[in-house]
Amino acid sequence: MESVQTIKQRFGIIGNTAALNRAIEKAIQVAPTDISVLVTGESGVGKESIPKIIHQLSHRKHNKYIAVNCGAIPEGTIDSELFGHEKGAFTGATQTRQGYFEVADGGTIFLDEVGELPLTTQVRLLRVLENGEFIKVGSSKVQKTNVRIVAATNVNMFEAIEKEKFREDLFYRLSTVDIHLPPLRERQDDIHLLFRKFASDFALKYKMPTVKLTDNAIQVLLKHRWSGNIRQLRNIAEQLSVLEQNRTITAETLRSYLPATANTNLPAVIKTSKSESDFSSEREILYKVLFDMKSDLNDLKKLTMELMKSGNVKDVEKDHEGLIQKIYGNDDFEEEALEATEDTAELLSIPEHSTNIEETSNTDKYHFAEEIEEEETLSLQDKELELIKKSLERHNGKRKLAAAELGISERTLYRKIKQYDL
């Protein structure tokens, strides 16, 4: 069995962090078997190196190795890409095509970004993992394949399972062995080492002197969060190599190439749940206000009816203390109630010299109340008629435009026009 150091040199892996070494050790140990492996880690940490190591150290090394980026293939064609299709299976299928699982028979398939697979494709993949069987798109014939699957993802698979975006049974079938690669910010001793390697490579590539960092620039390099990991570090090294005339890079120069929003290696604040949109929030608040207003209005109606029935402010105040406190707060209820009673009496045409509301019979009260309700109804009808007239005038009698403005259907508007004889 080859050593970790030998494998690093063979595959161009730089770094000596314990977590990186452990990941390579696991890859070496699992390579001679046919166990499925799931490589996890953030985007840009170099997950593609692990399946190459596993394939080259396995008994399949003389057969095909195919790397597939699942996130880059459209959902409508991914089944055809992976499993193949028969001639005429869909529009454009002018001939039978072999899929990756058929081509890589006896070899290894690396499924990068496996968390992006559609659910229907996940079912097909599960069948391949369980018994090596698959069916081409547009075919009914079951075919066998003998492939080693190594998958990789930067997605939190447990969250994806919880949200029903990834099958739990497929996850456990893929992750028989889980190999995790640490992010660059957790490999402090490797950051400057990687930068020097990249700077040296680009100096050779572009035929110019190698850029070097001052001590202060090295500290800036180490403190940066590197959310893009090794890929981001490589890009920064290439930019400095090509653009900077002065081959000694200061801290100030380096900072100008780093994103302004993430210049320090501080803990990131991550929102664990998505809030509702601003529109939804405003709508919820509006609904609550309307319901509260309706509740207050009902309470006020109830209190008014009690006053009309009893005519005794003191008794009503005693029996409905909680309700009064809710409506009037700390205001003087007795004074407000007397004023309201006088206003109500005037509204109901009760003679001014009558100070006790009990002098009016209950029948009269309800009769007057019905008259008020009828007047309100008539008033609403007048308003409706006025709005319809104005809208029709604005749109030169075009019912469709008027209905849209009023927020009603054209059929309803037509019925209203007939009702009001417009």
Residues 239 and 304 placed together within one structural domain of the fold: no
In total, how many domains does the chain have?
Answer: 4
Task: Report the phi/psi class of residue 385: left, alpha or beta, with left for phi > 0 and alpha for psi in -120 to 50.
Answer: alpha
Residues 171 and 195 placed together within one structural domain of the fold: no
Residue-level pLDDT at 355: 43
Residue 313 lies in a domain: yes
Instruction: Work out the burial of residue 127: count CB atoms within 10 Å of its CB; fewer than 13 is exposed, 13-18 middle, 19 or more buried.
Output: middle
Residues 223 and 291 placed together within one structural domain of the fold: no
Residues 15 and 156 placed together within one structural domain of the fold: yes
Answer whether 119's CB lies under 8 Å from 77's CB.
no
- The residues with which 21 forms a beta bridge, in sequence order, are none
In whole angstroms, what is the distance from residue 402 CA to residue 407 CA?
Answer: 9
Q: For position 150, which CATH number holds?
A: 3.40.50.300
Task: Note the pLDDT tens digit of each residue in 62-77.
Answer: 999 999 999 999 988 9
Q: For position 237, which CATH number holds?
A: 1.10.8.60
The last residue of one of the domains, among 237, 262, 287, is: 262
Residues 168 and 189 placed together within one structural domain of the fold: no
Q: What is the CA radius of gyration of the chain?
A: 38
In whole angstroms, what is the distance from residue 277 CA to residue 206 CA?
Answer: 49
Residues 172 and 218 placed together within one structural domain of the fold: no
Residue 71 lies in a domain: yes
| Torsion, Cα of 287, 288, 291, 296 (10° steps) | -140
Residue 272 lies in a domain: no
Residues 33 and 79 placed together within one structural domain of the fold: yes
Q: Mind giving me the DSSP string for 259-319?
A: -GGG-S--PPP--SSPPPPHHHHHHHHHHHHHHHHHHHHHHHHHHHHHHHHH--HHHHHHH
Residue 355 lies in a domain: yes
Residues 173 and 293 placed together within one structural domain of the fold: no
Q: Which domain holds residue 391?
A: 374-422
Residues 314 and 411 placed together within one structural domain of the fold: no
Residues 33 and 177 placed together within one structural domain of the fold: yes
Question: CA quadruple 407, 408, 414, 417: dihedral positive or negative?
Answer: negative
Helix (H) or strand (E) holding 40: strand 37-40
Residues 192 and 297 placed together within one structural domain of the fold: no
Residue-level pLDDT at 201: 95
Segments of the chain scoring below 70 in pLDDT? 1, 261-284, 287-289, 291, 303, 306-380
Residues 243 and 287 placed together within one structural domain of the fold: no
Residue 267 lies in a domain: no
Residue-level pLDDT at 291: 67
**Average pLDDT value over all residues in the chain:** 82
Q: Mind giving me the DSSP string for 73-108?
A: S-TTTHHHHHH-B-TTSSTT--S-B--HHHHTTTSE
Tokens of 398: 């075009």
Residue 368 lies in a domain: no
In whole angstroms, what is the distance from residue 378 CA to residue 371 CA?
Answer: 11
Residue-level pLDDT at 417: 84
Residue-level pLDDT at 422: 75
Residue-level pLDDT at 318: 62
In whole angstroms, what is the distance from residue 363 CA to residue 382 CA?
Answer: 29
Residue 48 lies in a domain: yes
Residue 177 lies in a domain: yes
Q: For position 382, which CATH number holds?
A: 1.10.10
